[in-house]
Chains A and B, each alone.
Chain A
Amino acid sequence: MRQFYLFLIGIIFSAATWAQGTGSIVGVLSDKEVNNEPLPFATVQIKNTSKGTTTDFDGLYEISNVEAGTYTLVFSFVGYETVEVPNVVVEADKVTTINAGLGATAAALDEVVITTTVSRESEVALLLEQKKAVSIQQSIGADELARKGVSDAAAAIAKISGVSKQSGGAGNVYVRGLGDRYLNTTYNGLTLPSNDIEKKNMDLDLFPSDIIQNVAVSKAYSTKFYGDFAASNIDVISKDYKGKFFLDIQLGSSINTRAIGQDFTRSEGTGYFGFYNRYDNNPFAVILSHPVDPVDGGTPINVNGSISGGKSFEMGEGGRLSLFATASFANDYEYRRGSAADFTTVEKQVYDDVEEFEYSTTTTAMLNAIYSLNSGHKITFNSLFLNSSSDEVGNFGIDGNGRNRDAILNTDSGFFTKNIQFNQDMIFVNQLSGLHTFDEEFELTWGVGYNKVFSNQPDRKRFALENYNLALDNDPSTNPSFYNNTNFDNQRYFQNIEDEELNSRLNLEYTVSDNFKLNFGYNGRTKERFFKNIRYGYDLIAPNTPVEDINNLDSIFNVPNLGTVYDTFVFRAIAPELGIDNRNYPGLDENRYTGNLDIHAGYINAEITTGNWLFVPGFRVESFNQSITYDVINLPPDASGYAESYENFYLPSLNVRYALNDDSNLRFSFAKTVSFPEFKEVAPFVYEDVTKRVGGNPDLLNDPSFSDVYNIDLKYEWFFGKSELLSIAGFAKEIRNPVNLVIANDATGTRRYFRTGEKANVYGVELEVRKNLVTDADENAVVSAGINGTYMHTQQDLRSSNGLFSSTLDRDDELQGASPFLINADINYSPTSFENYKPVANLIYSYFADRIDALGSGQLGNIVEKGYGTLDFVWRNEFGDNWEINASAKNLLDPDIEYVREGTSFGDYTTSIYRRGINVGLNVKYKF
Chain B
Amino acid sequence: MKTNYLLTGLTAAALLFASCEADDTAEIVINNTDNSVDNSVTNNGGTNEPEEPTGEAIDLQGTMTSDLVLDSNNTYTLTGPLVMAPNTKLTIPAGMTIRAASGANVYIAISQDAVIDAQGTSTNPIVLTSAASSPAAGDWGGLILLGRAPINSTTGGSATSTSEIGGLPYGGSDVSDFSGVIRYVRVEYSGGAADGQSENNGFSFYGVGNGTTVDHIQAFEGKDDGIEFFGGTVNASYLSVVNAQDDSVDWTEGYSGTLTNVYIKQGVSHDKAIEADGFNTDIGNNSNPVYFSAPTLNNVLIVGQGNTEGTEAVRLRAGTQGEFNNVIIQGYEEGFDLDGDSGDSPTGQGVLDGLLFVDTVNFDDVTLKMKNDTGYEFDESDFIMNEGDATGTDYDTWKAGWTVE
Contacts and interface: CB of A to CB of B under 8 A. Distances in A.
A269 B198 contact: no
Interface in B1-32: 1-3, 5-6, 8-11, 13-14, 17-28, 30, 32
Q: Is the interface of B mostly helix, strand, loop or mixed?
A: loop
Given A383-B10, A581-B102, A749-B282, A638 B63 contact: yes
Contacts of A743: 282-283
A808 B159 contact: yes
Given A858-B153, A858-B286, A904-B344, A747 B230 contact: yes
B55 interface: no
Interface stretch (B188-196, B209-217, B257-265): B188-196
A774 interface: no
Interface stretch (B163-171, B294-302, B359-367, B394-402): B163-171
B264 to A, nearest CB: 16
Interface string A562-590: 00000001011110111111110110000
Interface stretch (B117-125, B173-181, B323-331, B335-343): B335-343
A693 B1 CA distance: 30
Nearest to A858: B286
Contact of B3 (A269, A454, A571): A454
B169 A289 contact: no
A804 interface: yes
A745 interface: yes
A859 B169 CA distance: 20
Contacts of B83: 636-638
A635 B167 contact: yes
A583 B132 CA distance: 12
Contacts of A635: 166-167
A905 B198 contact: no
Contacts of A578: 32, 34
A428 B138 contact: no
Interface residues of B, number: 91
Contact of A745 (B5, B62, B283, B310): B283
Contacts of B6: 428, 430, 450, 452
Contacts of A428: 5-6, 8-11, 14
A748 B160 contact: no
A745 B162 contact: yes
Contacts of B10: 365-367, 383-385, 428
Interface string B123-138: 0000000001100001
Nearest to B77: A577
Nearest to B166: A636
B105 A634 contact: yes
Contacts of A285: 25-28
Contacts of B388: none
A893 interface: no
Given A454-B3, A569-B193, A634-B198, A290 B25 contact: yes
Nearest to B195: A634
B285 A277 contact: no
Contact of A804 (B167, B271, B284, B339): B167
A286 B25 contact: yes
A836 interface: no
Size band of the A side of the interface? 35 or more
Nearest to A280: B2
A747 B197 contact: no
A747 B281 CA distance: 9
Contacts of A633: 104-105, 194-195
Among B37, B193, B270, the most chain A Cβ lie within 10 Å of the Cβ of: B193
Contacts of A35: none
Nearest to A859: B284
Interface in A840-890: 857-860
Contacts of B13: 327, 365, 385
Contacts of A282: 28
A461 B114 CA distance: 42
A273 B20 contact: yes
Contacts of B104: 571, 633-634
A515 interface: no
A430 B103 CA distance: 45
Nearest to B82: A637
B101 interface: yes
Identify whether the interface residues of A are mostly helix, strand, loop, or mixed: loop
B282 to A, nearest CB: 3
Interface in A482-531: 484-488, 491, 498
B224 interface: yes
A487 B155 contact: no
A117 to B, nearest CB: 25
B221 interface: no
Interface stretch (A156-164, A305-313, A407-415, A434-442): A407-415
A739 to B, nearest CB: 19
B17 A273 contact: yes
Contacts of A450: 6
Given A485-B246, A905-B341, A806 B160 contact: yes
A329 to B, nearest CB: 10
A288 B286 contact: no
B123 to A, nearest CB: 32
Contacts of A409: 310
Contact of B283 (A344, A385, A484): A344
Contacts of A405: 281, 317, 339
Contacts of A800: 155, 159
Contacts of A280: 1-2, 23
A579 B37 contact: yes
A747 B198 contact: yes
Interface string A633-649: 11111110000000000
A808 B162 contact: no
B269 interface: yes
B224 A486 contact: yes
Contact of A748 (B62, B154, B282, B345): B282
Given A276-B21, A638-B83, A802-B159, A498 B3 contact: yes
B280 A749 contact: yes
Interface string A342-353: 001110100000
B239 interface: no
B237 interface: no
B281 A346 contact: yes
A270 interface: yes
A639 B168 CA distance: 10
Nearest to A745: B161
Nearest to B155: A808
B147 interface: no
A363 interface: yes
B129 to A, nearest CB: 15
Contact of B161 (A271, A363, A747): A747
Contact of B196 (A346, A488, A576, A585): A488
Contact of B159 (A281, A569, A579, A806): A806
A535 interface: yes
Contact of B81 (A574, A637, A693): A637
A69 interface: no
B166 A275 contact: no
A383 B168 CA distance: 48
A535 to B, nearest CB: 7
Interface in A322-374: 327, 344-346, 348, 363, 365-367
Contacts of B286: 808, 858-859
A131 B226 CA distance: 71
A800 B156 CA distance: 12
A344 B282 contact: yes
Contacts of B32: 578-580
Q: Which 6 A-B pairs have the closest CB atoms?
A: A905-B343, A749-B282, A383-B9, A859-B284, A385-B10, A747-B164
8 contacts: A276-B21, A285-B25, A345-B281, A366-B10, A367-B10, A748-B164, A904-B344, A905-B341
Given A857-B283, A859-B285, 14 more contacts: A282-B28, A288-B28, A383-B8, A385-B13, A411-B339, A488-B193, A572-B103, A579-B32, A581-B102, A636-B83, A746-B163, A747-B162, A804-B167, A808-B154
